[in-house]
Amino acid sequence: MSFVAGASASIMKTIKEIEAILEGEDLDYSGPKRHALHEKLQDALIKSSRTWYKKGFKRGHMEAYRASVAKGEVPLTLSANVEREFLPNYTSAVPLKSNLSESFVQKVSENVATRGNTSRKSSKRQR
């Protein structure tokens, strides 16, 4: 087998293993380097999932604040400790904290003051 063919086969095997990890399958032990790769892949997938989950928490906080700024019901800081399953059969504790910046709060408040309410009638983002 040539170098190119071997490299291609290795890449295909790694792609199949990533798919297996995402589906929650247990991968067979196939040597120390491959085992280390499996652990690195799982860690990277979990880290990526946690990062995007935290970003979603922050986005939810911002949208909740924007929607209720006139009533002042959403605190400027939200925090929670939750457990989530980012990969099948792998539960992880995630500390969540979201602080709304002063510039964001000021911008939303100015928008509300100029509109007189919190509705976004002409917004493309309405759902």
The beta strands (E) that lie in the chain are given as: 77-87, 90-99
Q: What is the band of 126 on the pLDDT scale with cuts at 50, 70, 90?
A: very low
What's the token pair of residue 113? 């003051």
Count of alpha carbons within 13 Å of 22, Cβ hemisphere only? 10
88-100, pLDDT tens digit by residue? 777 888 888 888 8
pLDDT of residue 70: 58
Per residue in 8-30, pLDDT tens? 888 888 888 888 877 877 777 77
